Chain A
Amino acid sequence: MTDTVSLTIDDQAVEVPVGTTIWDAARSLGIDIPVLCHSTRMRPVGVCRMCVVDTGVRNLQASCVRPCEEGMAVYTDSEKVRRNRRMLLELLLADYPAPGNREATTGDDELLALARDYGVEHSRFQASASAAPAPVDDSSPVIVVDHAACILCDRCIRGCDELQHNDVMTRSGKGAATHIAFDLDVPMGESTCVACGECQAVCPTGALTNRSLHGLHVLAEDRE
């Protein structure tokens, strides 16, 4: 068995160790594939689908989770790929409270940046009712949660449970009612959150931001 595979990405040849994802292989060639849920610090989960690429099979493949295969010919930026990414952006923007807390303050909202790159200015879809118990949760001494801006990328959850091992966050509910939750879906400030800030640091949108950005005081840690 060989331990590398050879393939082409946007017509450039590359050889990578078996098991390498298309996204990593592309990066080694200097090709940037857009992501929202993926972070190089985390286990890829492949949920936002923004990183889809064309490998010539029936469906587009999420490059952050798709291992390279021998002889693959991958296209990362075809019209078909771009068209589907635009639709995903439109779906996400439908109920996005633009510009949102992150863009309005630190200006590094990754969703809005991608939407600009793809020329998606408005969505043909309407906002739907938020699935979370309350749209905005500012009960935490440090972090403000805006559920309406959450795209369920799972970064905060992986950051909390898998990077920091604080074991506080989960997805709660199912289908369109899915939302991020703390412990048994209690307000963040009432949960076992230790305010490490990891979730807010990895969040690509305005869903988790620092209180100070809202003109709110960061509260002194008042729990035991």
Chain B
Amino acid sequence: MELLNRLMAVQHRKGALTDDVLRGLSREWRVPLYRLEGLRSFYPVFRDQPGAPRRLSVCRDVACRMAAGPDFAERVAQAMMGFDGIEVESVSCLGLCHAAPAALAGDVPVSGSPERLRDGMSGRQPQPLVGDPPAGVAAVDPYRGADGHYGTLVELLDGGRPESVIETLEASGLRGMGGAGFPTGRKWRFTRAASGGPRTVVCNADESEPGTFKDRLLLERAPHLVIEAMIIGGWVIGASHGIIYLRHEYEHAREALHKALERARADGYIGSNIRGSGFDFELDLFISPGGYIMGEETALLEGLEDRRGEPRNKPPFPTQVGYNGGPTLMNNVETFALIPRILQDGAEGWKARGREGYSGLKFLSVSGDVAAPGVYCVPAGTPIRDVIERAGGMAGGRSLYAFCPGGASTPFLPAALADTPVDFDALAQAGAGLGSGALFVVGSGRDLLDLAIQQVRFFRNESCGKCVPCRTGSAQAVSKLEAAQAGAPEEGLTELLEALDETLVQTSICGLGQVALTPIMGLLRHFPDEAARLRRPHD
């Protein structure tokens, strides 16, 4: 954290880490040049030359691509021509999918037509700020007002048992909401049982899966729930240090967290001898230097340890060997945020919040062709079709064509499967998964192949480059798909892609490479018309 924090501070102050700057820092800090180069060239927040004074970062991923077309960033750049001091870049999904097409003006979320964005950037008009979408946070906040916050923690410190927290989490059936769906109670048990130190609790707030923005809204509107659950986690696994790893584009969430942390500290929930219990807990907020891969748990740890964010080979898992070699309890924002409610409800009470025999509540980031995109907290077991209704139903007079239930890492499913309930296992059985709970809805008349190719491009763009299959395979897949889309699918393309997919799944180090071709495999499996576009007529 220390070296990257120092580099980020210099980048912020000077606008770039030029060669001259790095030579000076290398001497001053006694860090070899190669290490600084490795970091500077890996993390998107660092630049080797200063850019224009004002920067507009335009999203290029699926929700925005669907809303404004594949050439949106170019049109924005064109509109900006002749305005000095403004730079336009295209970037991966910003977690502003409810406001598609979206962009960041510096660190301010904006949305609108190229002309409207230009007028905002040039100061002719106020910036077209992104509005506040629905977030459904109240459903999981067990407290009436700020005075009640941290009540669950206080009860536990006053004679509760760490073991009973783990038992409740296990019995509740809670699973990780960051994408992998690992049972949370079991993770807490493993980490508590692991020996050695240092022991750390980490909140993964790097949210960058295209279509996912629930963590951002949870942090903006209920940061106290995440903080409280992290402190409880520390108490359960015997850790006195926690770190929140926050995506750098999430400025509003940073402010909300900062405020909530100060308040928790002032009220004695963070610090030494919390509420006279003898338990100490410190909590740091670390701002990511950028990149989707940093959300992968071991890449995140590499980042915290001031290295390039390249995922580690597993095992060992972070529960055993995590931050600085010690046991690390890492959970997603939503996973943590649900825990105070679950501990208040008890396992049975929590489970009863689901429907049709499914357990608990689930936050879904709903975007695409719906009338009211936003975050919806729904009972587990709610059919996808009903979630779309909750989000205002289909927009623009379109009918449902396809939906992607869990972010780019899960494949598109056809409208015929829209009765599938929101649940990890049910969606897996349907051939997809719940992933990060990003429900992306595609209406009739949309170019699904184009959207799927954009998802593969996203993985190529965000590959860390460490392992051969993902670094080379994702790039090869994109160039073949682009050629096919331009009208010339090569002979045997789908067979080659299937074989390449097997190697990506079987041999990639981390989940990114493993799912890089999933969007296309989903089309081959579920959408014969789209698949036909990847075959030669006589194939």
B322 within 8 A of A: no
Instruction: Pick the most buried of B475, B496, B514: most chain A CB atoms within 10 A of its CB.
Output: B475
Return B504 CB to nearest CB of chain A, in Å: 9
A151 to B472, CA, bound (A): 10
Which residues on the A side are within 8 Å of B473 (C-beta)? 91
A220 within 8 A of B: no
Given contacts A49-B469, A175-B471, contact A170 B38 (CB under 8 A): yes
B308 within 8 A of A: yes
Return A164 CB to nearest CB of chain B, in Å: 13
Closest to B473 in A: A91
A34 within 8 A of B: no
In the complex, chain B residues 460-478 whose Cβ is within 8 Å of any chain A Cβ:
460-469, 471-476
Instruction: Pick the most buried of A47, A84, A170, A172: most chain B CB atoms within 10 A of its CB.
Output: A170
A92 to B472, CA, bound (A): 8
A46 to B461, CA, bound (A): 22
Task: Verify B37–A170 contact, CB threshold 8 A.
Answer: yes
Return A114 CB to nearest CB of chain B, in Å: 12
A92 to B468, CA, bound (A): 8
A205 to B38, CA, bound (A): 22
Given contacts A167-B34, A176-B465, contact A94 B507 (CB under 8 A): no
Return B276 CB to nearest CB of chain A, in Å: 39
A192 within 8 A of B: yes
Partner of A87, one of B38, B467, B499: B499
Task: Verify B33–A172 contact, CB threshold 8 A.
Answer: no
Which residues on the A side are within 8 Å of B34 (C-beta)? 161, 167-170, 181-183
Which residues on the B side are within 8 Å of A94 (C-beta)? 472, 476
Which residues on the B side are within 8 Å of A168 (C-beta)? 32, 34
Q: Per-residue CB proximity of B16-32 to A under 8 Å, as 1/0?
A: 00010011000000001
B122 within 8 A of A: no
B315 within 8 A of A: yes
Task: Verify B469–A124 contact, CB threshold 8 A.
Answer: no
Task: Verify A88–B313 contact, CB threshold 8 A.
Answer: no
Return B133 CB to nearest CB of chain A, in Å: 31
B500 within 8 A of A: yes
Which residues on the B side are within 8 Å of A169 (C-beta)? 34
A203 to B473, CA, bound (A): 22
Which residues on the B side are within 8 Å of A92 (C-beta)? 468, 472
Return B16 CB to nearest CB of chain A, in Å: 13
In the complex, chain A residues 145-180 whose Cβ is within 8 Å of any chain B Cβ:
151-152, 161, 167-178
B503 within 8 A of A: yes
Which residues on the B side are within 8 Å of A177 (C-beta)? 465
Task: Verify A62–B313 contact, CB threshold 8 A.
Answer: yes
Return A109 CB to nearest CB of chain B, in Å: 16
Task: Verify A59–B506 contact, CB threshold 8 A.
Answer: yes
A184 to B291, CA, bound (A): 21
A175 to B476, CA, bound (A): 12
Which residues on the B side are within 8 Å of A178 (C-beta)? 465, 471
A126 to B476, CA, bound (A): 8
Partner of A49, one of B33, B308, B468, B474: B468
A125 within 8 A of B: yes
Which residues on the A side are within 8 Å of B447 (C-beta)? none
Which residues on the B side are within 8 Å of A7 (C-beta)? none
A67 within 8 A of B: yes
Given contacts A87-B500, A152-B465, contact A52 B38 (CB under 8 A): no
Which residues on the A side are within 8 Å of B514 (C-beta)? 59
Return B467 CB to nearest CB of chain A, in Å: 5
Which residues on the B side are within 8 Å of A66 (C-beta)? 313, 315
Given contacts A88-B469, A151-B468, contact A172 B38 (CB under 8 A): yes
In the complex, chain A residues 18-72 whose Cβ is within 8 Å of any chain B Cβ:
45-50, 52, 59-60, 62, 65-67
Task: Verify A185–B37 contact, CB threshold 8 A.
Answer: yes
Task: Verify B500–A184 contact, CB threshold 8 A.
Answer: no
Closest to B493 in A: A124
Task: Verify B37–A46 contact, CB threshold 8 A.
Answer: no
A106 within 8 A of B: no
Return A140 CB to nearest CB of chain B, in Å: 16
Partner of B41, one of A124, A126, A161, A174: A174
Partner of A46, one of B291, B506, B509: B509
A128 within 8 A of B: yes
Task: Verify A170–B35 contact, CB threshold 8 A.
Answer: yes
In the complex, chain B residues 298-317 whose Cβ is within 8 Å of any chain A Cβ:
308, 313, 315
A92 to B471, CA, bound (A): 10
Return A121 CB to nearest CB of chain B, in Å: 16
A49 to B471, CA, bound (A): 12
Which residues on the A side are within 8 Å of B499 (C-beta)? 83, 87
Return B296 CB to nearest CB of chain A, in Å: 14
Instruction: Pick the most buried of B496, B502, B506: most chain A CB atoms within 10 A of its CB.
Output: B506
A124 to B469, CA, bound (A): 14
Instruction: Pick the most buried of B313, B474, B499: most chain A CB atoms within 10 A of its CB.
Output: B313
Task: Verify B467–A47 contact, CB threshold 8 A.
Answer: yes
Which residues on the A side are within 8 Å of B471 (C-beta)? 152, 175-176, 178
B36 within 8 A of A: yes
Task: Verify A88–B41 contact, CB threshold 8 A.
Answer: no
A65 to B315, CA, bound (A): 9
Partner of B315, one of A67, A83, A88: A67
In the complex, chain B residues 498-516 whose Cβ is within 8 Å of any chain A Cβ:
499-500, 502-503, 505-509, 514
Partner of A91, one of B38, B291, B460, B468: B468
A52 to B507, CA, bound (A): 7
Which residues on the A side are within 8 Å of B476 (C-beta)? 91, 94, 125-126, 128
Partner of A184, one of B22, B479, B506: B22
Which residues on the B side are within 8 Å of A172 (C-beta)? 37-38, 41
Given contacts A52-B507, A67-B315, A171-B308, contact A88 B38 (CB under 8 A): no
Given contacts A87-B500, A174-B464, contact A183 B37 (CB under 8 A): yes
A50 to B506, CA, bound (A): 12
Q: Could you name 7 residue pairs across A and B whose Cβ atoms are closer than 8 Å?
A: A87-B499, A169-B34, A170-B34, A174-B291, A174-B465, A184-B37, A185-B37
Residues of A at the B interface (CB closer than 8 Å) are 45-50, 52, 59-60, 62, 65-67, 80, 83-84, 87-88, 91-92, 94, 124-126, 128, 151-152, 161, 167-178, 181-185, 192
Q: Which 5 A-B pairs have the closest CB atoms?
A: A178-B465, A170-B34, A170-B38, A167-B32, A87-B503
